[in-house]
Structure 1
Amino acid sequence: MSRTVSTTLGEGDRVALLVPGSLDYLDAVLGLLAAGVVPIPLDPRLTAYERERILTPLSPALVVTSAAELDRVRAAYPDTRGLPRARPVHCTSGTTGTPKGVWSGLLSAEDARALVAEERSLWSFVDTDVNLVLSPLHHSAPLRFAMGTALAGGRVVVPGPFDPALVTAAIEAERPTSMFCVPTHLQRLFAHWDEVGVPDLSSFRLVAHAGAPCPDAVKRRLVELFPAGSTWEFYGSTEGQFTACRSEEWLERPGTVGRARPGRTLSVDPDGTIWCTVPRFARFSYFGDPDKTAATWRGDAFTVGDLGRLDEDGYLHLDGRREDLVISGGVNVYPLEVEQVLQGHPGVDDVAVYGVPDEQWGQRVCAAYVGTASAAELDAFVRERLAPPKRPKTWHRLEELPRTLTGKVLRSDLPR
């Protein structure tokens, strides 16, 4: 599947990164992209089963699994300030249960410059910025903000796996100007600050959150604690970005995720499906899957199947994510992918995976199943095959799953 770092890596080749996020990791991503070699950032906690399933269709030329290998990549591709000639390939399984690589292809110099300029214009990246990284860098949003900062000549701080005390210490010591977070991060930080006191947040000019619906009380406290005008929400997906919204706009229209980002337009079908037209440099395909790609695009507009409505001023309100999507701690968990793994257990005859509200994580992944397996057996089974965010935290053994007359599982009935 892979070969060593050398000049045999060509433009458009893909390099899978299965190591923890760090400043070296960021440098490797930037160096590869400047050379037209495309990184595939992945969770290093993926099991061997998951790695094989994701990487086989993407055919990476190199798979990096150690710090030593990452160092060799950095040495071979040292240009960390060059123009990125592609977008990293982030993977999303959508509702199919099969992970797909979101592929931009190699960008022309004109499109590459436009991509960097768009991000810099929206988020005002400058060389005095200090970006504090809270989420793992294999996720698309934190990597985008870190890359935008670095390309503008700013500094990036990576404290390590999220811990409220470490983040608080980094805020006090590093005086960051920006950070991306998910609502779970904010909830845990606020709880910690209730115990130890709120640090000086005056250095922040940008705090952006996304990844999951933000509880009203959390949103209002965010606005209260951070400098006026500094807090934003945006709505997007692995495939592309739809909106951006200052918190002050949200206060006037509670629940909105904002209007279309500059250079984009939004439309909503009669059934609520959201479509977004994007510039040429923001187009994508699903690597190796022309049918899925064709179903996603309508002219210059794409959809990820989310539902919503536009008000008279063009502000988007989400009516629901894809009906089977679970967002736990800001991580998208697709039930079908988990179900396909569980169906491989000999003690499972039928299974449905779903989410329930959780104060800490937003949603908790649960599984209802028919069969002879015990919860302990299923716990052990998924630990070998699924990364931690995808593993069900609660198991319910049933005599049968609730279904419609046509055989579709009634997921909305499962929490009851």
Structure 2
Amino acid sequence: MNLASHVVGSARNHPDRAALRLGDDSVTYRALDQRSARMAGLLHDRGVEPGDRVAIMLPNTPEFALAYFGVLRAGGIVVPMNPLLKSREVAYYLGDSGARLLFAWHAVADEARAGAQQAGADAVVVDPGGFERLFAPGPITDDVTDRHEDDTAVILYTSGTTGQPKGAELTHANLTRNCDIMATELLQLTADDVIFGGLPLFHAFGQSCTLNAAVASGACLTLLPRFDAAKALGILAEHAVTVFAGVPTIFSRLLQQPDRDAYDVSRLRMSLSGGSAMPVEVLHEFQDVFDCVVLEGYGLSETSPVASFNTLQAGPKPGSVGTPIRGIEMRVVDNGREVPHGEAGEIAIRGHNVMKRYWQRPEETAAAIRDGWFYTGDLGRVDQDGYFWIVGRKKDVIIRGGYNVYPHEIEDVLYEHPAVADAAVIGLPDPDLGEEVGAAVVLKPGARTTAEELREYVKRQVAAYKYPRKVWIADALPKGPTGKILKREIVPPPEPGGR
């Protein structure tokens, strides 16, 4: 079994249909098959063996798909990375995964090269059409390297409340079954569908639910490298998009676009939302304005990602995340025991979508997966009809516009500043993004700096979506008897002019 086999199948069944589209340019399934085969040949020529990790730090362009499926065809393991990462983050991902080869977009070449040098890896810089130049002298590997269904296909980095990000090992079976169920049962995709590709492909949601689902069904994925509401609406109209996928913030941005009614989106038949809870008012307004049903689902990187979904067949319940998909069990537990319907507890998941393990982290794997159940750290409840509702998060993660921000990572950077004695990063309510990143800082005795300087210090070292937009300097942070900072008791200062 190899996830890349979907490319070969769609190339055989739909050779001249567009697989990927970016602006006026498109890549057919025949071309995707041939170019990913050349990519596999290039990797073999560079000594990449089955099971070797290869990192890709590319935006939503055709090059991402060519690299992704090329690595899989060669039997390698893909390590997707956010193109916004800074060099220290690049070095960590490469060093932790053991990836010795990184394909990076030309716009982020400096950070990629610096991080790769720190990790002792090679960075190959790619620009539009750059793969063709790389492929020109190389061999073609038409075959798809056979991999066992339990072999790791992708390592997606995620994190908890402590320590550095950790890699969730997703197998070929995890990803193939998840995208097949998404394509055939939940979205009922056909080769005539056009899917909006604005979700980051390095993320589990965009990767499985748009890229892999599209390729598995022979549909077209129309790409948007950086989200912009006007550009997104233009794509929906000009490319006759039938399936839209986004996080709640994206839905809100489309609704806020002043000239939204000027775009013909009549081909749109379905939208899916995930990443964080969508306000019911936004869901209803989007359905009314765009005459398109919105279906919410739930999942995590560790679950490939989809675990539950609202389906048209069963009837969606706005505000819920639906029922478990086929082959998946979900339950709500407290201290390992299932709680009655309607009561809140931690959501646990079991089934073919649960990751193999955390890469080289046996203790954290054992803590997360117990008796075959993956304990999500998310708090929820289940109603009498079996629909699940998310009510909070046990983990201390901040979800900013659909992106996960892990406080400990940002706190580590703040603590590196010579003036900082204590730091606590928390999520602040935000009407547009859901949550914004805030940081409370206590300075060392005699130290002098400003909140603005601290904000810029962090901004220079982490991806743009992670740094705290609001930083304030406090005399002290609330602490418990053991000295642990009590984040729940931290109250940010009022905005200027507020009460």
Tell whether the structures are fold-level matches, with TM greater than 0.5: yes
Q: Tell me the amino acid that sits aligned with residue 169 of structure 2.
A: W
Q: Could you tell me how far apart the structure 2 residues matched to 1:105 and 1:41 are?
A: 14
Distance 1:370-1:112 versus aligned 2 partners, 3 A rule: closer
**Aligned residue number for residue 14 of structure 1:** 53
* 2:276 is the counterpart of 1:212: yes
Q: Could you tell me how far apart the structure 2 residues matched to 1:80 and 1:210 are?
A: 35
Q: How does 1:78-117 map to 2 (within 5 A)?
A: 86-105=152-171, 114-117=177-180
With 339-348 and 6-15 compared, the bigger mean Cα shift is at: 6-15
Q: Could you tell me how far apart the structure 2 residues matched to 1:319 and 1:21 are?
A: 32
Q: Could you tell me how far apart the structure 2 residues matched to 1:403 and 1:42 are?
A: 36
Could you say what secondary structure the match of 1:405 adopts? coil
Q: Whose Rg is larger?
A: 2
**Aligned residue number for residue 38 of structure 1:** 77
**Aligned residue number for residue 457 of structure 2:** 381
Deviations 1:316-364 (A, max 9, x none): 1112023421110100111111111111111100000001111221111
* 2:125 is the counterpart of 1:52: no
Could you say what secondary structure the match of 1:200 adopts? coil
Please tell me the root mean square deviation across aligned C-alpha atoms, in Å: 2.7
Q: Could you tell me how far apart the structure 1 residues matched to 2:68 and 2:143 are?
A: 8
Q: Could you tell me how far apart the structure 2 residues matched to 1:219 and 1:124 are?
A: 21
* 8 Å CA contact retained: 1:83, 1:113: no
* 2:331 is the counterpart of 1:267: yes
**Aligned residue number for residue 126 of structure 2:** 67
* 8 Å CA contact retained: 1:31, 1:79: no
Could you say what secondary structure the match of 1:355 adopts? strand
Q: Could you tell me how far apart the structure 1 residues matched to 2:395 and 2:294 are?
A: 28
**Aligned residue number for residue 236 of structure 1:** 299
User: Unmatched 5+ residue regions in structure 1?
Assistant: none
Could you say what secondary structure the match of 2:196 adopts? strand
Give the superposition deviation at 1:63: 1.0
**Aligned residue number for residue 398 of structure 1:** 474
* 8 Å CA contact retained: 2:52, 2:99: yes
User: Unmatched 5+ residue regions in structure 2?
Assistant: 1-41, 105-124, 336-344, 493-499
Deviations 1:119-159 (A, max 9, x none): 32332222112111112221111121122102321111113
Give the superposition deviation at 1:378: 1.2
* 8 Å CA contact retained: 2:59, 2:83: yes
Could you say what secondary structure the match of 1:51 adopts? helix
Q: How does 1:188-227 map to 2 (within 5 A)?
A: 188-192=253-257, 194-197=258-261, 199-227=263-291
**Aligned residue number for residue 156 of structure 1:** 221
Could you say what secondary structure the match of 1:319 adopts? strand
* 2:305 is the counterpart of 1:305: no
User: How many equivalent pairs are there?
Assistant: 406
Give the superposition deviation at 1:254: 4.7
Could you say what secondary structure the match of 1:349 adopts? strand
Distance 1:78-1:135 versus aligned 2 partners, 3 A rule: farther
Q: Tell me the amino acid that sits aligned with residue 414 of structure 2.
A: L
Percent identity for Structure 1 against Structure 2: 29
* 8 Å CA contact retained: 1:212, 1:330: yes
Q: Tell me the amino acid that sits aligned with residue 380 of structure 1.
A: E
Distance 1:112-1:350 versus aligned 2 partners, 3 A rule: closer
Deviations 1:71-104 (A, max 9, x none): 5479777769999975422110122241111113
* 8 Å CA contact retained: 1:325, 1:333: yes
**Aligned residue number for residue 29 of structure 1:** 68
TM-score normalized by structure 2?
Answer: 0.75
* 8 Å CA contact retained: 1:31, 1:80: no
Give the superposition deviation at 1:208: 0.8
Q: Could you tell me how far apart the structure 1 residues matched to 2:328 and 2:201 are?
A: 26
Q: Tell me the amino acid that sits aligned with residue 347 of structure 2.
A: I
